């Protein structure tokens, strides 16, 4: 991992995410977490801006930061050897809604409707902007960001690419999405994101994007790249249980955590931090606690486990990617952000969820700090990344 970028409700940039979350800032306003500081025209031409739905604008902007952070003034590899894997839960839903409104009122639907709302628009825009001609794909649902990063790693491992731009982008703070998630009783009626708290009552919708530059380790070293972290392992499973509800036993989620550790060649005792999926839903947080306890055993009680969603809400298909960015910086700075809003412990959820204030990570000298980043999505998709600071 040589480059990171993010646009989140805590600001434009990966640094503001880490610094403001660690300081206890919360990006939720009136029950939603919008990227209020983001102005598309500050990051792209008028033409680019009007040809991209907000989700793709966020993705392109986070990508520009990640690519600059990786020191890619131009592509360091042949364009055919660099691809992009971008996750999104819903794609251009604001475009969909505004064009549906035009149609209903008897006006013409825009020729830009399809190119703006299609889920692959973000990945395609990144490919065009940076002239990436390797594999360029999109993945979906609320684990999409983590699935994208894991799949991108596999593309490099199997020799399909030398470097991949991977992440997720989402902008679904729209009337339809709001009503649809509320109707499912997935979002919080109180409008508060407080993962693992006894009063948690659903997730708070957020928007944003997170993008990482992944490079083949040898190639990165050969070009003298500054390396943030190593993506050590990836595990992906499916509950095959329910369209929206998690399997509360956490069986398949546990299997994904275990697979990620096995892929990394690491033992539970070597994990220093977990960036939890922690959506603040009653069932989800319970299933995740069970899965972590099942795989990490005693270690689950010894290490800090916190949820970025307490500060920025649930970014759906961007969540896993933004949280991977947050995890990279937590490992680099040896500082885990807190789970905000956690004041009333739930007796069933008895792990150290870092209430109150950010926590320093204690890592024995001579080795990198290791973290797991969990992402679970509707459809029972589970994706777990295992990262180690460089």
Partner 1 sequence: MQDEMTDTTVTDVVTDALVGFGCEREEITRAATFESLDIDSLDLAELAQVIEERFGVVLKGSDVVTLKTLGDLIDLIVARA
Catalytic residues: 142, 277, 314
115 near partner 1, judged by CB under 8 A: yes
In whole angstroms, what is the distance from residue 380 CA to residue 376 CA? 7
Candidates 44-52, 124-132, 226-234, 266-274 — which segment interacts with partner 1 by CB under 8 A? 44-52
Report the residue from 74, 108, 183, 298 that binds partner 1 according to the rule CB under 8 A.
108
Q: Whole-number minimum distance, CB 335 to partner 1, in Å?
A: 42
Report the residue from 29, 50, 242, 367 that binds partner 1 according to the rule CB under 8 A.
50
Q: Whole-number minimum distance, CB 111 to partner 1, in Å?
A: 4
269 near partner 1, judged by CB under 8 A: no
Candidates 28-36, 48-56, 209-217, 353-361 — which segment interacts with partner 1 by CB under 8 A? 48-56
Report the residue from 110, 157, 190, 244 that binds partner 1 according to the rule CB under 8 A.
110
287: its two tokens = 């299933």
Candidates 83-91, 111-119, 152-160, 266-274 — which segment interacts with partner 1 by CB under 8 A? 111-119
227 near partner 1, judged by CB under 8 A: no
Rounded to 5°, angle at Cα 13 from 94 and 78: 90
- Our CB check for partner 1 shows the closer of 91 and 380 to be 91
183 near partner 1, judged by CB under 8 A: no
- Our CB check for partner 1 shows the closer of 120 and 375 to be 120
Q: How many CA atoms lie within 13 Å of 366's alpha carbon, on the beta-carbon side?
A: 1
Q: What is the DSSP letter of 145?
A: H
In whole angstroms, what is the distance from residue 256 CA to residue 345 CA? 26
Nearest to 279, CA basis, from 238, 236, 326, 311: 311
Rounded to 5°, angle at Cα 7 from 27 and 137: 130
Candidates 103-111, 135-143, 179-187, 216-224 — which segment interacts with partner 1 by CB under 8 A? 103-111
- Our CB check for partner 1 shows the closer of 44 and 295 to be 44
Report the residue from 25, 64, 75, 112 that binds partner 1 according to the rule CB under 8 A.
112
111 near partner 1, judged by CB under 8 A: yes
100 near partner 1, judged by CB under 8 A: no
Supply the DSSP string of 218-279, one letter for each residue. Answer: HHHHHTTPPP-EEEEEEEEEE--S-SSS--TT-HHHHHHHHHHHHHHT--GGG--EEE----
- Our CB check for partner 1 shows the closer of 114 and 266 to be 114
Nearest to 280, CA basis, from 357, 372, 361, 344: 344
Candidates 109-117, 201-209, 245-253, 353-361 — which segment interacts with partner 1 by CB under 8 A? 109-117
Q: Whole-number minimum distance, CB 377 to partner 1, in Å?
A: 32
- Our CB check for partner 1 shows the closer of 104 and 365 to be 104
In whole angstroms, what is the distance from residue 238 CA to residue 143 CA? 11
- Residue indicated by tokens 């994904």: 256
Q: How many CA atoms lie within 13 Å of 29's alpha carbon, on the beta-carbon side?
A: 9
In whole angstroms, what is the distance from residue 44 CA to residue 29 CA? 27
280: its two tokens = 């603040």
For CA atoms 86, 243, 326, 268, the dihedral sign is negative
159 near partner 1, judged by CB under 8 A: no
2: its two tokens = 């040589």
In whole angstroms, what is the distance from residue 44 CA to residue 61 CA? 8
**Binding footprint of partner 1, residue count (CB under 8 A):** 12
- Our CB check for partner 1 shows the closer of 115 and 377 to be 115
- Our CB check for partner 1 shows the closer of 111 and 224 to be 111
Q: Whole-number minimum distance, CB 83 to partner 1, in Å?
A: 24
Q: What is the DSSP letter of 304?
A: -
Report the residue from 30, 46, 105, 218 that binds partner 1 according to the rule CB under 8 A.
46
Do 329 and 349 meet the contact criterion of CB atoms below 8 Å apart? Answer: no
Report the residue from 32, 37, 51, 332 that binds partner 1 according to the rule CB under 8 A.
51
Tell me which residues touch partner 1 (CB under 8 A): 45-51, 108, 110-112, 115
């Amino acid at each position: 991992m040589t480059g990171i970028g993010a646009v989140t409700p805590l600001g434009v940039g990966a640094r503001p995410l880490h610094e403001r979350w660690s300081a206890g800032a919360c990006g939720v306003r009136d029950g939603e977490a919008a990227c209020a500081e983001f102005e598309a025209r500050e990051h792209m031409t008028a033409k680019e801006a009007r040809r991209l739905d907000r989700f793709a604008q966020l993705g392109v902007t986070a990508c520009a930061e990640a690519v600059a952070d990786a020191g890619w003034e131009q592509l360091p590899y042949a364009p055919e050897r660099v691809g992009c894997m971008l996750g999104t839960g819903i794609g251009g839903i604001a475009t969909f809604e505004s064009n549906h409104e035009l149609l209903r009122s008897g006006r013409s639907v825009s020729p830009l409707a399809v190119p703006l709302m299609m889920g692959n628009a973000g990945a395609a825009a990144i490919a065009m902007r940076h002239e990436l001609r390797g594999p360029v794909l999109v993945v979906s649902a609320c684990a999409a960001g983590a699935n994208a990063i894991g799949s991108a790693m596999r593309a490099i491992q199997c020799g399909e690419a030398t470097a991949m731009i991977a992440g997720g982008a989402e902008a679904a703070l729209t009337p339809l999405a709001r009503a649809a998630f509320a109707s499912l009783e997935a979002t919080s009626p109180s409008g508060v994101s407080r993962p693992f708290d006894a009063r948690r009552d659903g997730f708070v919708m957020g928007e944003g994007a997170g993008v990482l530059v992944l490079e083949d380790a040898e190639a990165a070293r050969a070009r003298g790249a500054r390396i943030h972290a190593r993506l050590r392992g990836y595990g992906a499973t499916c509950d095959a249980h329910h369209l929206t509800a998690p399997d509360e036993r956490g069986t398949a989620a546990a299997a994904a955590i275990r697979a990620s550790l096995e892929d990394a060649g690491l033992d539970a005792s070597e994990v220093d931090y977990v960036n939890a999926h922690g959506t603040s839903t009653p069932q989800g947080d319970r299933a995740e606690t069970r899965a972590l306890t099942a795989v990490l055993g005693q270690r689950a009680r010894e290490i800090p486990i916190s949820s970025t969603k307490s500060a920025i809400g649930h970014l759906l298909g961007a969540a896993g990617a933004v949280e991977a960015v947050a995890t990279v910086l937590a490992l680099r700075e040896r500082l885990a952000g807190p789970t905000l809003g956690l004041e009333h412990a739930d007796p069933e959820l008895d792990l150290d969820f870092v209430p109150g204030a950010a926590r320093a990570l204690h890592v024995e000298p001579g080795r990198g700090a290791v973290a797991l980043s969990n992402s679970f999505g509707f459809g029972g998709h589970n994706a777990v990344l295992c990262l180690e600071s460089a």
